């Protein structure tokens, strides 16, 4: 229809908007529920849950979490490993993908087979534990760094497709001017790959930030606990703490010290501390997404679509 939309198009648009709004509410509300519950008085929550806003607003649970040395130490471990792994992994993986994308690389099919095999098969937990122990990485901070240097073959595929989109004339001109492979990579390839680097950096950072398995299986020291692992122990200990304070896992200082600050009554309870810790742990990634959002679609499309 010239000059406007037909009735069918308007109905379709309205239904699409309605569905997207419903999906948005379903996605956002769990976080909102956790946020308002963590800001509500713990004793008041015993009367029933809050749904839209706190009935008795208080920052007591947040203050307890942010003042706890165990939580702060875990947050530092998590933040440092996230930054270090993201930077090193993106540099290493992008360089690997650049070499992989070159037409003169011999036996490329062999590397492709190994790469795809690594995407679908793993060595298993016990062999991984034995390997980390043999390498001296068990209960060592480097266990958070070294095994994650390579970002995975999926990232190589994205980088490779992006590099294929760079005109060969740029590489030929640079080589005629005497540029080395390293100079070509850092002066030409990296500047033209910023959207892909940004998008994959966000994905990598989120995966590392949310990882608690490495702490669970490959460390035992309280000083190496990550924020997500501490939250896991908070969730596991919550029921027992509310029923019987002496059942708190005393071997985990970060959890026991934090939960022992509450007797299950008043402004702060184990449940509100748990919610506050979860919300606080989510904030860095939530804040990061808006700044990187403009790179997502462009970066992934540049890395996956080749003319």
Query: Six-digit token pair at 48?
Result: 């029933």
250 part of a folded domain: yes
Residue 118 belongs to a domain with what CATH number? 1.10.3720.10
Establish if 54 belongs to a structural domain.
no
CB 166 within 8 A of CB 192: yes
Q: Collapse the DSSP code of 40 into the 3-class scheme (helix H, G, I; strand E, B; otherwise coil) and give the result.
A: strand
Q: Of 307, 109, 296, give the one whose Cα is nearest residue 203.
A: 296
Is the residue at 43 inside a domain? no
The separation between the first and the last C-alpha atoms of the chain, rounded to the nearest angstrom, is: 33
Tokens of residue 98, six digits? 């650049």
Q: What residues contact 286, with CB distance under 8 A and at least 6 apart?
A: none
User: What is the predicted pLDDT for the residue at 117?
Assistant: 85
- pLDDT of res. 22: 94
18 token code pair: 């309605």
Distances (CA, A) of 13 to 2, 10, 19, 112: 17, 5, 10, 43
Return per-residue pLDDT of the chain as tens, 307 residues: 445 677 778 888 889 999 999 999 998 898 899 888 888 887 777 787 888 888 888 888 888 888 878 888 898 999 999 999 999 999 999 998 888 888 777 887 888 888 888 888 877 888 888 989 999 999 999 999 999 998 888 888 888 888 888 888 888 888 888 888 888 888 888 888 888 888 888 889 989 998 988 999 999 888 899 988 888 887 776 656 555 554 445 556 565 556 555 544 557 777 788 888 888 888 888 888 777 766 665 555 554 444 4
As a whole number of angstroms, the distance between CA 150 and CA 92 comes to 7
Q: What gap in Å lies between CA 160 and CA 91, rounded to an integer?
A: 14
- In the 8-state DSSP scheme, what is residue 206? H
Number of domains in the chain: 1
Distance between CA atoms of 173 and 147, rounded to whole angstroms? 37
Nearest to 228 by CA among 266, 190, 280: 280
Q: What is the 3-state secondary structure (H, E, C) of 146-189?
A: HHHCCCCHHHHHHHHHHHHCCCHHHHHHHHHCCCCHHHHHHHHH
| pLDDT for the residue numbered 121 | 81
Residues in the chain: 307
Q: Which helix (H) or strand (E) holds 215?
A: helix 213-218
Q: Which two tokens stand for residue 154?
A: 């999926």
Residues of the domain holding 279: 59-307
Measure the CA–CA gap between 263 and 33, rounded to whole angstroms: 23
Quick one: DSSP state of residue 272?
A: H
Token pair of 85 as six digits: 């792994």
The CB density around residue 173, as the number of other CB atoms within 10 Å, is 13
Residue 107 buriedness (CB in 10 A; 0-12 / 13-18 / 19+): exposed
68 phi, psi to nearest 5 deg: -80, 125
Structural domain includes residue 19: no
DSSP annotation of 54 reads -
What per-residue confidence (pLDDT) applies to 77?
93
- Domain assignment present for residue 2? The answer is no
Q: Specify the pLDDT at position 141.
A: 93
Rounded to the nearest 10 degrees, the angle between the axes of helix 270-304 and helix 69-101 is 10
- Is residue 104, in this structure, part of any structural domain at all? yes
Q: What is the pLDDT of residue 138?
A: 92
Is 41 contained in some domain?
A: no
What pLDDT, on the 0 to 100 scale, is given for residue 280?
87
Residue 116 lies in a domain: yes
């Amino acid at each position: 229809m010239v000059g406007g939309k037909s009735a069918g198009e308007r109905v379709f648009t309205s239904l699409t908007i309605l569905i997207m709004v419903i999906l948005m509410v379903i996605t956002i509300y769990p976080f909102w529920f956790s946020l308002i519950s963590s800001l509500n008085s713990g004793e008041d929550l015993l009367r029933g849950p809050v749904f839209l806003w706190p009935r008795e607003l208080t920052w007591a649970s947040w203050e307890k979490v942010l003042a706890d040395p165990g939580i702060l130490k875990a947050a530092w471990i998590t933040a440092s490993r996230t930054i270090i792994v993201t930077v090193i992994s993106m540099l290493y993986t992008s360089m690997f993908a650049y070499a992989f994308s070159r037409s003169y690389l011999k036996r490329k099919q062999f590397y492709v087979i190994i790469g795809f095999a690594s995407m679908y098969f793993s060595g298993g937990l016990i062999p991984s534990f034995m390997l980390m122990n043999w390498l001296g990485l068990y209960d060592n901070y480097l266990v958070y760094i070294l095994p994650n240097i390579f970002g995975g073959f999926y990232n190589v595929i994205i980088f490779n497709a992006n590099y294929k989109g760079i005109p060969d004339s740029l590489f030929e001109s640079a080589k005629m001017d005497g540029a080395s492979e390293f100079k070509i990579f850092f002066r030409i390839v990296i500047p033209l790959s910023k959207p892909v680097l940004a998008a994959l950096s966000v994905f990598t950072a989120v995966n590392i930030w949310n990882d608690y398995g490495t702490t669970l299986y490959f460390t035992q020291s309280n000083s190496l606990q990550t924020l997500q692992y501490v939250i896991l122990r908070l969730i596991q200990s919550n029921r027992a703490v509310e029923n019987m304070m002496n059942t708190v896992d005393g071997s985990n200082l970060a959890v026991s010290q934090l939960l022992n600050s509450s007797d299950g009554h008043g402004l702060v309870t184990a449940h509100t501390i748990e919610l506050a810790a979860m919300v606080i742990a989510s904030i860095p990634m939530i804040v990061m997404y808006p700044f990187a959002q403009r790179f997502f679609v462009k970066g992934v499309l540049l890395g996956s679509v080749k003319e």
